[in-house]
């Protein structure tokens, strides 16, 4: 084989490696944008990748009509088209959903289909070009497919672990488009002597490269403008992390709202109602308050309520996403709301360290006031962990007096595992004598079956569980389940304990003794159902019930 032939084969292999990684990354990017906008991440990823793979087959079939003398030219044009659609597609989809939500799906799946067809062009055309240097089909296919699959793995790792650390999703898309354009230009340059390349193809290639370069540098601004059409209030902060998409808005009247993946997490107008109901009923029926675990709640609002009790000595807060807790410790609006409950001076950050070891710091000294003038009554340690809650529960050797579960609704299989019998069984092992578990449990009005499934699952795990609810203006009728281990507690039933709360020992904005008692009462037949299924790891029924309930909203 001549030296030139070896060089040409190497160039083709390198291009195939880049395209293998980029092609998979395009699939991931469109899947992520669909999951962020439409929710139901598993369904969106499955449909997006399945449709794109099908269309790749269509693209491979279409390459049979491309003549040998047009291979390089056709390949370059397909890469240019893929670059512009894949590179600008995500930002276009965000604009589309904001302005024309009912037409969004048509554009979304059209882009996926066209990009899939164009990606399907790659392997057949490269194999045909490589045939000039490798006459044996088995050698040719093995060579091209090998680098394509290696490139796919490389692309998956880079997309998953590297790019999210430095780029938002629209920047990633623009970078992929630049990658496709440069690949097409490389083939045009190295193989222009083999086939005639018209000047307009060169000009178009550099024009597309310039557009995508500009898009990359303007992606943050364009994304903010595009996202603004999705929200009524002004966007103050937006970020796409490794785990989720975060948006913080502020209304003209100073009201702050936090959204994750497009779903409202709290509004400053009424978050106190939610967090007071989440924390204080459990605190008043729990005989001990020294060691408390909070799962979720990275905004620091639940911790704010817990710190009102002088008996608290240690709080472990577990939230998967470091960006949420960073926002809670640094953002001025959130600091005002959580009263600096997770501020840097008070938190021992133990990200990705052993669960058993780690230096701890005191939250505040007794009678010391923080910057917002609040006077905490106790000395308390707060340990902040950025871990999956299920992993934490399996590994931590500690025993807790109270476990507060402030996790998002079970709107994905990943979250549904935190509402499973297995998870609750592990939780029960971490409860000390008289220990209490309280969990936010979605709406008993809008998602009744999901709400009831949570209680059935708790009971199936051996807990004694009791439901309660309250109206929160931003969410409507909202519910919680409170539970205890009946084997280690000999006091009267939870409902009787809650009814016998005489007064609240800490200041509240909304909650009263009477409201705790009234929250235990539900409408006629509201807790009646024919369903008997519980949620397990293998059969996450709470997720199915949740999807059915919120499908029309």
**Catalytic site positions:** 406
Yes or no: say if 364 and 346 are a contact pair by the CB < 8 Å rule. yes
The rounded distance, in Å, linking the Cα atoms of 240 and 49 is 21
**Helix axis angle, 137-157 to 3-38, nearest 10°:** 40
DSSP string spanning 350-391? -TTS-SS-----BS--TT-B-TT--B--S--EEEEE-S-HHH
The rounded distance, in Å, linking the Cα atoms of 95 and 222 is 9
Yes or no: say if 287 and 434 are a contact pair by the CB < 8 Å rule. yes
Residue 509: exposed, middle, or buried by beta-carbon count in 10 A (0-12, 13-18, 19+)? exposed
Helix (H) or strand (E) holding 239, with range, is strand 234-240
Yes or no: say if 425 and 418 are a contact pair by the CB < 8 Å rule. no
Helix (H) or strand (E) holding 429, with range, is helix 421-429
Q: Could you say which DSSP state residue 375 is in? A: B
What number of other Cβ atoms are within 10 A of residue 305's Cβ?
24
Q: Is the dihedral of CA 316, 319, 321, 323 positive or negative?
A: negative
Q: Which residues contact 119 (CB under 8 A, 6 or more apart)?
A: 19, 23, 26, 52, 55, 56, 59, 82
DSSP string spanning 501-518? ----SS--SS--HHHHHH
The Cβ-side half-sphere exposure at 5, using a 13 Å CA radius, reads: 8
End-to-end CA distance of the chain: 64
The rounded distance, in Å, linking the Cα atoms of 98 and 90 is 13
Yes or no: say if 321 and 336 are a contact pair by the CB < 8 Å rule. no
- Nearest 5°: CA angle at 465, between 536 and 316? 80
The rounded distance, in Å, linking the Cα atoms of 524 and 71 is 71
- Alpha helix positions (H), 158-263: 163-166, 169-190, 199-228
The rounded distance, in Å, linking the Cα atoms of 297 and 338 is 11
């Amino acid at each position: 084989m001549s030296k030139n032939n070896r060089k040409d084969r190497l160039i083709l292999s390198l291009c195939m490696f880049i395209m293998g990684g980029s092609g998979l990354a395009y699939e991931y990017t469109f899947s992520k944008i669909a999951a962020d906008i439409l929710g139901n991440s598993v369904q969106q990823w499955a449909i997006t990748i399945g449709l794109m793979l099908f269309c790749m087959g269509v693209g491979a079939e279409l390459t049979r009509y491309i003549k040998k003398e047009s291979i390089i030219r056709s390949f370059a044009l397909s890469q240019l088209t893929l670059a512009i659609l894949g590179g600008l597609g995500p930002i276009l989809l965000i604009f589309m959903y904001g302005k024309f939500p009912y037409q969004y799906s048509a554009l979304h799946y059209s882009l996926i289909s066209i990009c899939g067809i164009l990606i399907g062009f790659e392997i057949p055309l490269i194999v045909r070009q490589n045939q000039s240097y490798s006459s044996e089909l088995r050698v040719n296919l093995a060579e091209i497919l090998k680098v394509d699959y290696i490139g796919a793995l490389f692309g998956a790792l880079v997309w998953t672990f590297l790019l999210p650390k430095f780029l938002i999703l629209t920047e990633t898309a623009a970078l992929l488009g630049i990658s496709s354009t440069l690949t097409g230009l490389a083939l045009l340059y190295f193989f222009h002597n083999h086939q005639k390349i018209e000047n307009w193809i060169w000009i178009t290639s550099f024009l597309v490269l310039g557009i995508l370069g500009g898009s990359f540098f303007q992606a943050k601004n364009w994304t903010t403008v595009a996202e603004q059409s999705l929200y009524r209030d002004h966007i103050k902060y937006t970020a796409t992390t490794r785990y989720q998409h975060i948006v913080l808005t502020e209304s003209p009247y100073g009201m702050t709202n936090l959204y994750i993946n497009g779903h409202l997490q709290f509004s400053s107008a009424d978050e106190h109602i939610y967090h007071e109901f989440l924390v204080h009923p459990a605190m008043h029926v729990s005989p001990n308050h020294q060691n408390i675990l909070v799962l979720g709640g990275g905004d620091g609002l639940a911790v704010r309520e817990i710190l009102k009790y002088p008996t608290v000595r240690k709080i472990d807060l577990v939230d998967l996403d470091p960006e949420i807790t960073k926002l809670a410790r640094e953002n001025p609006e959130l600091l005002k709301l959580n009263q600096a409950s997770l501020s840097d001076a008070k938190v021992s950050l133990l990200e990705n360290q052993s669960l058993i070891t780690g230096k701890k710091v005191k939250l505040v000294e007794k009678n010391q006031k923080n910057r917002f003038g609040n006077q905490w009554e106790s000395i308390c340690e707060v340990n902040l962990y950025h871990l999956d809650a299920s992993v934490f529960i399996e590994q931590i050797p500690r025993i807790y007096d109270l476990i507060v579960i402030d996790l998002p609704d079970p709107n994905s299989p990943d979250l549904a595992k935190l509402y499973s019998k297995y998870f609750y069984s592990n939780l029960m092992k971490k409860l000390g004598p008289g220990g209490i578990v309280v969990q936010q449990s979605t709406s008993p009005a809008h998602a009744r079956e999901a709400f009831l499934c949570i209680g059935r699952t708790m009971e199936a795990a051996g807990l004694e569980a009791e439901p309660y609810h309250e109206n929160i203006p931003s969410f409507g009728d909202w519910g919680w389940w409170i539970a205890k281990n009946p084997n280690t507690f000999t006091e009267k039933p939870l409902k009787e304990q809650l009814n016998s709360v005489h007064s609240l020992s800490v200041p509240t904005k909304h909650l009263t003794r009477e409201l705790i008692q009234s929250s235990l009462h539900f409408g006629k037949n509201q807790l009646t159902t024919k369903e008997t299924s519980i949620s397990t790891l293998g059969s996450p029924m709470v997720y199915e019930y949740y999807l059915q309930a919120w499908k029309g909203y």
